[in-house]
Structure 1
């Protein structure tokens, strides 16, 4: 269920988002606080009832509605609660079929809206003024960005990243995406992986080189420069560097460069060629091959899957 997924993912900003200027504290709300079973038989225990009046964000999760079942007259208390929140300036969102409740509330009249594709006939027949967009994953449904609807059952993941980016920043959204493997998972886990943290060590000469490399990884012939700055022989430097960090010098430089390239692909509207040159590779073809080997996808594919939805292109 979307409610549980959203609760866990959004709550990670509170548990592990240290240093954020803003964090998200999710609360599961229902008409009654007593435990009940969902349409799939899963037990749900709300944390609060509809007396909550101070939420900054309201997410209406997917609802169960049989094909021959009319939404007319349903969710009166929930609709009144949503109306109070949107009147107070809260951001109101829906996942999957939750947009039916927003449509029933009249909030989507004249606006575009996403929902599960199976809701197309219902929207056409009951909500003819709503411009139903079954192809959309995430849709700004108006009121100056105050209404957000999303598509099918797994679109809650896109909503989670959108909300984290909007309230906590793109960097936090990217961290959460990598942690929970959110996004297109067709290429496995490698596109979500970050550079493994070098092991702790006491080799002062290698530590100095690592510190220097943070700001100089794009320098030409970096391994030669590292060896020269260390004052060690080539053989001794390579042996000590590998023992201290767990990487060969070349692998370490490549990992740093690819990680920086990932950050640029996530946040900046620059060409692959510009990114390649910026991280130290004058040959963009070589850069693309290296990036795919380390990240599992091409730079273009990584950008497509990791640029946060809702942020400027």
Structure 2
């Protein structure tokens, strides 16, 4: 058997599709190692094995230590790795794309670079978030205003549904405990959604920084995608958890989000939603359907030619090197 240092990267066919993975796995106060193509989590109670290719996002909570070999297999599997602070307010993620084709990121860049198409995508995102409303013809400023009102209404509605007071959204970066239980739960739910969205965006090979609503940040597109599920999933679950008890709100919210996103198959839906947004209607085929390594060279008039060969014989002019 090949040693870890000599073992090559897994091919796309050997990896679990993003839509079929666990949404995320949360670990704390343990040490992560590698055992073949699985990671092991060891603490005082024993060792558990987790196949790395089944993980969408791995959340590493307080007291976790991870070996270089564990990170190597997680990266090879395309799993996102998120270090979550004690208050769950910061994360750092990594992983490689499960999609070897550049077709999806090229489609994203094309729609992002065109102001009209970029606004079309923003309107479609609004339509997906708030069914029953038609944002056609709305300017960006009008979209932002309507979105803000709808989210405020969602907060008030969910607070009334579970019977807890709500004095508005308050969040102090770096200080999770500064908010009341409802605000803490909303923050924890949002962090989970960001991790899921970032893992999916990365796995599909999209550009995290090319957002259609958010901009100016390396994760602008991730924030766009996470917001698609804010009022449907994150906010209702956050208020349910906060209403149950003010104790241990962060971890209970994460578990509730995990259970719900697994139950509804959110990863598969997230993949489909991203493709729907950035692949033009009527496009033929799935740009991520071919998992073979295919590298071409760009020629004139949008043509692509075979790579890995010398094209000097096809060039009639003189080149002075």
Common fold: TM-score over 0.5: no
Is the strand fraction higher in 1 or 2?
2
Q: TM-score per shorter chain, which class?
A: under 0.3
TM-score norm. by structure 1 comes to 0.24
Relative contact order: is structure 1 or structure 2 higher (C-alpha 8 Å, sep ≥ 6)?
A: 2
